Structure 1
Amino acid sequence: MPGPKDLDPSVSPRALLGAELRHAREKAGLSQDALGQALFVSGSFIGQMESGTRRIQPDMARKLDEILDTKGFFERNCKAANKSKHPDHFADAAEAERIATAIRQYASQLIPGLLQTKAYAEAVFRAYHPTAPDEVIEDLVAARLERAHILDDPTTPLLWAILDEAVLRREVGGNAVMAEALRRVTHLARKHRIIVQVLPFGAGAHASMEGPLKLMEFDDAPPLSFIEGPSMGMLLDDPATVTRHTLMFNLLQAAALSPTESLALIESVAQDYEHGEQHP
């Protein structure tokens, strides 16, 4: 029997590939857990590939074709489905972010990407890539701003951001850029589109001293956490790890200023930037 036809890359290839995986798995009479055991991954990992949250990598695609007898379909099509406007280490997280119902994020150094302005994002990417051509920076900025469209929906996802005070004090792009960037954060908070807290320097040592943290929840899939470093990132679904990261975020919430106090501080710092004042 011939395998399924190749995908049309112009029509949500990752979602289509995930749907084909679900169809092939069910046709083979396998549960997500059973297929996961054969591939040495969790059942939730299979579910994430089926939903398009995780990309199907070439080595995994070859194994799927063997187990599901799909005549090389997944190996042929995974390349098109894996195309992303985002850096490779962030592509899966960006896709997960797009379908999440709730995002809880601690930002240790930078305004979160979903909340950045064009000028702020340009300054960040130029710092990352000081010798890159302008068109490369423009593409990176465009992809980052496109991500922010998930906030066009008035209620979903819930976005709860905890900003380290360093995020407010680190001058990225100059006074005008910082003032605009912080005003965007306060605008979204005042519209009740996001919840924002500031973790002040006075809080001292805290639960996420080692770096930023992002948690994502979904309607029909287990929660994920995402941790990142220089040019690397890990999307994690291990329940014990996600539970620990959730506790870390809860501890950060408890140590941070209240949303009302945080908003007042961010607006005060934005006003200082507008007046050209420097910050320690």
Structure 2
Amino acid sequence: MPGFQPRPLHPERSARDLYGAEIRRLREAAGMSLTRLAEVLQFSKAHLSRIETAESPPPPGLSEKLDAAFGTGGTFLRLYPLARLEQYPDRYRRFMDLATQAMVREGYSETVHGLLQTRAFAEVILRAGAPFASEDEIEHKVAARLKQQERLHGPNPPRYWFILDEASLRRIVGNPRLMRDQMQQLLQAGTLRHVTLQVLPFSAGAHSELGGSLTLLTLPGGSTVAYEEGSRNGLLIEKSDIVAKRRAYYDLLRAQALSPRESQAMISKALEAFDHAAQPLAEE
């Protein structure tokens, strides 16, 4: 059997990739294994491995330790601000870049859409999706998600259209009190003039997006791209004929969903149920 081959690094891609590549270069030049470097730094080996391969951004405090360990005179400390700014792995960056340009953003999701999540809801969801991540990694993910919401609530926002599966109103994430707060946030979002919110009820039955999510971004100039995401990966679609098919799928979901008014009523009923269930928690 061939020996273990470390994952190739691509320092030319981004500051985060360069940061990780420098760790590996200096580590190997010093004849150190990843395990030994983690011991020297008093840092999680698993987390350090993800930083070296640019899967995770460097956390505060690590750069100083790396400069001390390798005697690099502040190289990592200078790279850190740039690497930290790159909040998303390489495969998501183009989608996120396009999302910041979109004039209209439409989406379907089986859970509460990330742009509509409370901090507490986002933390539980992200922790469930990465059960072995460190506290710093989770905090970074939460901060990145909340930052995406700034455009939704900022000046001159794009047009948003959200279709949420009824499961997002039924599955308890965290506890009833957390869900009550999340339902309140959904109701508030539904009152924004640039937001349309619909619920796809269970009665709609099977549909094209079961098990995943779909986002359509209408860009300046009128072109549209689609983004499909599962629990562990995502796919950006830019070919116009394939995007047109995804548009047709989304339009069908929109027709099957409850009206915005009916959707607000369903969310209100969910809020009432969670509020009732949360009362014993408040008395404890």
TM category, shorter: 0.5 to 0.7
- For residues 115-126 of structure 1, what are the structure 2 equivalents within 5 Å? 115-126=116-127
Q: Which residue is 2:274 aligned to?
A: 273
TM-score, with structure 2 as normaliser: 0.65
Q: Is the partner of 1:265 in helix, strand or coil?
A: helix
Q: Which residue is 2:107 aligned to?
A: 105
TM-score, with structure 1 as normaliser: 0.66
How far is the alpha carbon of 1:192 from its aligned partner?
2.4
Q: Which residue is 2:36 aligned to?
A: none
Determine the C-alpha separation between the residues in 2 that align with 1:274 and 1:155.
Answer: 34
Question: Structure 1 pair 134/92, CA: closer, same or farther in 2 (3 Å)?
Answer: same
Letter in 2 for 1:90: Y
Deviations for 1:87-116, whole angstroms, at most 9, x for unmatched residues? 4432222221111000110112x1111111
- For residues 85-96 of structure 1, what are the structure 2 equivalents within 5 Å? 85-96=87-98
How far is the alpha carbon of 1:209 from its aligned partner?
2.8
- For residues 1-280 of structure 1, what are the structure 2 equivalents within 5 Å? 84-108=86-110, 110-220=111-221, 222-276=223-277
Determine the C-alpha separation between the residues in 2 that align with 1:88 and 1:114.
Answer: 21
Q: Is the partner of 1:234 in helix, strand or coil?
A: strand
Question: Structure 1 pair 196/126, CA: closer, same or farther in 2 (3 Å)?
Answer: same
Is the Cα–Cα contact under 8 Å of residues 102 and 156 in structure 1 kept in the other structure? no
Q: Is the partner of 1:243 in helix, strand or coil?
A: helix
Q: What percent of counterpart residues are identical? A: 34
How far is the alpha carbon of 1:234 from its aligned partner?
1.1
Is the Cα–Cα contact under 8 Å of residues 103 and 158 in structure 2 kept in the other structure? yes
Determine the C-alpha separation between the residues in 2 that align with 1:210 and 1:117.
Answer: 22
Q: Which runs of 5+ in 2 are unaligned?
A: 1-14, 16-81, 279-284
Determine the C-alpha separation between the residues in 2 that align with 1:112 and 1:82.
Answer: 24
Is the Cα–Cα contact under 8 Å of residues 122 and 142 in structure 2 kept in the other structure? yes
Q: Is the partner of 2:236 in helix, strand or coil?
A: strand
Question: Structure 1 pair 116/248, CA: closer, same or farther in 2 (3 Å)?
Answer: same
Determine the C-alpha separation between the residues in 2 that align with 1:89 and 1:271.
Answer: 40
Question: Structure 1 pair 259/221, CA: closer, same or farther in 2 (3 Å)?
Answer: closer
Deviations for 1:38-74, whole angstroms, at most 9, x for unmatched residues? xxxxxxxxxxxxxxxxxxxxxxxxxxxxxxxxxxxxx
Is the Cα–Cα contact under 8 Å of residues 158 and 194 in structure 2 kept in the other structure? no
Moved over 6 A (4+): 80-83
Q: Is the partner of 1:276 in helix, strand or coil?
A: helix
Instruction: Report how many aligned residue pairs link the two structures.
Output: 198
Deviations for 1:97-147, whole angstroms, at most 9, x for unmatched residues? 111000110112x11111111000100111112232211111110000001
Letter in 2 for 1:175: P
Determine the C-alpha separation between the residues in 2 that align with 1:81 and 1:141.
Answer: 17
How far is the alpha carbon of 1:221 from its aligned partner?
6.0
How far is the alpha carbon of 1:178 from its aligned partner?
1.1
Determine the C-alpha separation between the residues in 2 that align with 1:86 and 1:102.
Answer: 22
Structure with higher Rg: it is 2
How far is the alpha carbon of 1:194 from its aligned partner?
1.1
Determine the C-alpha separation between the residues in 2 that align with 1:91 and 1:121.
Answer: 20
Q: Is the partner of 2:160 in helix, strand or coil?
A: strand
For structure 1, which segment, 268-277 or 81-90, has the greater mean C-alpha deviation from structure 2 after superposition?
A: 81-90
Determine the C-alpha separation between the residues in 2 that align with 1:275 and 1:93.
Answer: 40
Letter in 2 for 1:257: L
How far is the alpha carbon of 1:230 from its aligned partner?
2.8
Q: Which residue is 2:61 aligned to?
A: none
Determine the C-alpha separation between the residues in 2 that align with 1:144 and 1:265.
Answer: 26
Determine the C-alpha separation between the residues in 2 that align with 1:150 and 1:105.
Answer: 16
